[in-house]
Amino acid sequence: MGGKALLVVVVGFMIVSAYTVSTLRSSSERAGTNASLSAAKENSKRLALSGAKMTLARINQDTSWTGNLNRSPSLSDGGSFTASMQRITGSNMSILRSISTYPVQGTAALHDTVDLLLQKNTRNSFSILAWMSNTEDNVTWITGDTLWGKMHTNGKLKVSGSPCFTGFVSSTAGFLQLPGIGTNLGRYLAGYNPAADSIVLPTSLSELTAAASSGGKNYGSTIWVNLNPNSSSDGNGVAEIRTSATGPIVETVSLNAPFNGVIRSSGVIRVKGTLDGRLTITSAQDIYVDDNIVYERDPRSTSSNDVLGLVAEDDIIVTDNTVNRSNCTIHASIFARDGSFKAENYNSRPVSGQLQILGSIVQNIRGPVGTFQPWTTTLKSGFSKRYAYDQRLADESFRPPFYPGFISSRLTIVDIRYGNIQANTATKKNKLGL
């Protein structure tokens, strides 16, 4: 369906609770406080809420829909509601209004309203996803793999054995075998959707390129970046830049203002170290992870504002070297726009332990990090995966500097008003964050 999209709303408990605590008074309160009138007022409110909820359900099926809903639920006393969805000209906002009509014997009918202000097509950071791929290629999730956080692929998911997915899993092209069928014994703790809408990767990294040239650092050849936190004090980290693996430091970049947080090279970038600060490292080619990359303050155990983006036009590669053959830890949001996140020599390097990620991973083509015996799912080479989502990234305002984003067709409730037509009263609940 052309307008089908994700509708981010909570229309049950939160709306009903907000309405219940509102200070509305029906215009017919002067008729008395007897039990029948009190019941009528509650029914009028519930009708208005029902209209809002039914209209939201309709929009959830097709976010391009506008129009009216008129319903008379199965009430013996003839109550009804009229709900409408109208776009606001010249903006990405729409208004959903639900008006109840509830007859009361001997007095005017009660009318209550619920108005929802909805915003469509919002920009999201790719870091809100723990895992995303444009295509899964011929790579399989196997027993021993664990992914924490939300996962999406535009391709077809391949699962063999019992990997564990703690967050919601969505796929545009479905599964090679649906969960519970054949070799797909995966555990989907938050559920799954095999027919989700696709998420489009950007066509370039132009925003990062511009940022590197205006307030950041832009280099024209292969560079080696060592992240140095300096002392244990917070906020004094640097990035040490070399033009060879063992050569002298050619520049020490303080990760504080006026530096805007972007280091770029038109060549390959090789990275390792401990980060104290906010930084995005971006390459017009590949990025190699030569050793562990960790935050000075691990956000899982203490307060931390350290955040790193690794953004490559092509591949992001875990180097095949001695230090990376006994586990490798990467704290970063990883983004391979036209390439993959993968392990170098994944099918010939020795079994290398665990690849431990704290952050998020987005790639065009899912890259392999190891191989396994198909009949036992035992690792033959490379890494098993331990991919943990950095929960701070769920807040879209917290992301690496200039990290890529996407436009979604999501509808978000940004304002709710409750009112009574006759009394012309309204209670406003601002920015509920639904």
pLDDT digits (tens, 9 = 90+) for 110-158: 899 988 888 766 668 899 999 999 999 888 999 989 999 999 999 999 9
Q: Could you identify the residue written with the tokens 């008729």? A: 31
Query: What distances in angstroms separate CA 70 from CA 81, 115, 118, one per listed residue?
Result: 6, 16, 20
- Looking at per-residue confidence, does 402 or 418 come out higher? 402
Looking at 30-44, 113-127, 156-170, which range is the least confident one? 30-44
- Looking at per-residue confidence, does 93 or 264 come out higher? 264
Please list, residue by residue across 308-318, b when 16 or more beta carbons sit within 10 angstroms of its beta carbon and e when fewer do. bbbbbbbbbbb
Give the pLDDT band of residue 75 (cuts 50, 70, 90).
Answer: low
The structure's pTM equals 0.69
Q: What is the pLDDT averaged over residues 63-72?
A: 76
Q: Is the pLDDT of residue 20 over 50?
A: no
Residue 159 has phi, psi (to 5 degrees) of -130, 130
> Which pLDDT does position 51 carry in this prediction?
87
Q: Is the pLDDT of residue 237 over 90?
A: yes
What would you report as the CA-atom Rg of the chain, rounded to the nearest whole angstrom? 27
Give the pLDDT band of residue 15 (cuts 50, 70, 90).
Answer: very low
Query: What distances in angstroms separate CA 144 from CA 20, 42, 149, 187, 376, one per listed residue?
Result: 48, 53, 16, 11, 11
Give the pLDDT band of residue 428 (cuts 50, 70, 90).
Answer: very low
Query: What distances in angstroms separate CA 126 from CA 121, 251, 388, one per listed residue?
Result: 15, 30, 15
Q: What is the pLDDT averaged over residues 157-185?
A: 95
Give the pLDDT band of residue 167 (cuts 50, 70, 90).
Answer: very high
> Which pLDDT does position 24 carry in this prediction?
36
> Which pLDDT does position 434 carry in this prediction?
26
The DSSP bridge partners found for residue 1 are none
Cα angle 326-230-333, degrees, rounded to a multiple of 5? 55
Q: Indicate the length of the chain as a whole number.
A: 434
Q: What is the pLDDT averaged over residues 272-299?
A: 98
CB 369 within 8 A of CB 385: yes
Q: Which of 289, 304, 332 is nearest to 127 (CA)?
A: 332
> Which pLDDT does position 412 carry in this prediction?
67
Structure tokens at 106: 């001997």
Q: What is the pLDDT averaged over residues 200-223?
A: 95
